[in-house]
Structure 1
Amino acid sequence: MSGVRIPINLSQEPFRKDRPILVASAVTGILLMGVLLMLVSIILREREAARESREMMARIDQQLSVVNQQYAKIEAQLRQPVNSAVLDRSLLLNALLIRKGISWTRLFEDLEKVFPGNVRLVAVRPYVTGDNLVQLDMVVGAQSPEPVIQLLRRLEGSNLFGATALLSSQPPSQNEPLYRYRVSVNYAQKL
């Protein structure tokens, strides 16, 4: 007999080649387990960082409450009738210091750069707004309205001055031969 082999499968189900699928499933399972471990470690680190952030916020809130309590004590002490005169004087002196911070010499030098020769500055009153910006309230005079219009354009085009507003105007009279205009303008002098 020559060695002819005939394969015979006596089982009820045919033989399948599942080994590559099992190996691929095992490798995928190991990879997924590695990803799971990595995600768990990230979650634990983030949880620790969040706990530290909460503790820091609690410390900051505690410090803020202490500062607020100290501020309230000082404020109450300043508001007492005995100290109210000192507080009022302090506020007045601070307002005067801010107002004194406007340099008149520099103000007139800056106005001289933009004023046309035929416009006269009759009055100027600088004041500081609530935003610590300098605003000029001016009264100007001229023989005709055209030079004042030119002045307004120069003020708006200047780097030192800003938006202008014409508040009022008066025609010439027997006592005052000039057209008079009341103008408000932003001024960029730093305090």
Structure 2
Amino acid sequence: MPHLIAINLASEPFTKRRPVILGALVAGLALVALLVLQIHLIVTERRQMAEAREAVAHAEAELRKLALEQGQLESFLRQPENAEVLDRNLLLNALIMRKAISWTVLFADLEKTMPHNVKLISIRPEVTPQNQISLQMMVGAQSSEPVLQLLKNLESSPLFGPSSVQNWLPPSQSEPLYRYRVNVVYGQKL
């Protein structure tokens, strides 16, 4: 069997570039796939932005329409013949809001927090503009310690908010108790 000798007559020797070409082809295909993905994401994002702009424009148009309608209603209510009805409605709403306070629940909650040796002399609930109930109470005690205990109990109770003493009066001949005017926010829901 004759022995063959491999001779390369080319001016440059043969190199195996197939793995490099294959790797470059795979990398190129991956980059093309990433490019297609990026284009798809950009198109989707633009479509969503257009929808969002349209929704914002629609909401702004609705807001302008409602503001115009509110202006018309306010001008209607400001007319002299309607102002009296509006004032009456505001008064009735305020009265209804004051009547919405449950005295039974209020006294039950105060009973839980008030020490036995503190006397409730007077109480006046008011509804604040934030729809909270503010209690203005006049309380009396033989000394200041029970009133301090009442303030601590009010502060630690989840039903009452911050409390403050507005003023106090010492005992007199007609009233043998120390009297304190206490303001506290009450947490009863209206």
Q: Same fold (TM over 0.5)?
A: yes
Q: Which residue of 2 aligns with 1:50?
A: 49
SS for the counterpart of 1:15 is: coil
Q: Which residue of 1 aligns with 2:60?
A: 61
2:86 is the alignment partner of 1:87:
yes
SS for the counterpart of 1:39 is: helix
Give me the whole-angstrom Cα distance separating, in 1, the residues matched to 2:163 and 2:58: 50
Give me the whole-angstrom Cα distance separating, in 2, the residues matched to 1:22 and 1:113: 86
Q: Cα distance 1:33–1:120, how it changes in 2: closer, same or farther (>3 A)?
A: same
Q: Which residue of 1 aligns with 2:189?
A: 190
2:161 is the alignment partner of 1:127:
no
**What is the percent sequence identity of the aligned residues?**
50
Give me the whole-angstrom Cα distance separating, in 2, the residues matched to 1:50 and 1:143: 71
SS for the counterpart of 1:181 is: strand
Residue 7 of structure 1 and its aligned partner are, at CA, apart by 3.6
Residue 142 of structure 1 and its aligned partner are, at CA, apart by 1.4
Residue 4 of structure 1 and its aligned partner are, at CA, apart by 4.1
Residue 97 of structure 1 and its aligned partner are, at CA, apart by 1.2
SS for the counterpart of 2:119 is: strand
Post-superposition Cα deviations, 1:166-187, rounded to whole Å, max 9, x if no partner, equal: 1111111222221111111121
Gaps of 5+ in 2: none
Q: Which residue of 2 aligns with 1:175?
A: 174
Count of paired positions: 190
Give me the whole-angstrom Cα distance separating, in 2, the residues matched to 1:81 and 1:156: 47
Gaps of 5+ in 1: none
Output the amino acid matched with 2:40: S
Structure-to-structure mapping, 1:105-184, within 5 angstroms: 105-184=104-183
SS for the counterpart of 1:94 is: helix
Give me the whole-angstrom Cα distance separating, in 1, the residues matched to 2:37 and 2:158: 60
Q: Cα distance 1:158–1:31, how it changes in 2: closer, same or farther (>3 A)?
A: closer
Residue 117 of structure 1 and its aligned partner are, at CA, apart by 2.7
With normalisation by structure 1, the TM-score equals 0.89
Q: Cα distance 1:23–1:157, how it changes in 2: closer, same or farther (>3 A)?
A: closer
Give me the whole-angstrom Cα distance separating, in 2, the residues matched to 1:41 and 1:149: 70
Output the amino acid matched with 1:84: A
RMSD: 1.9
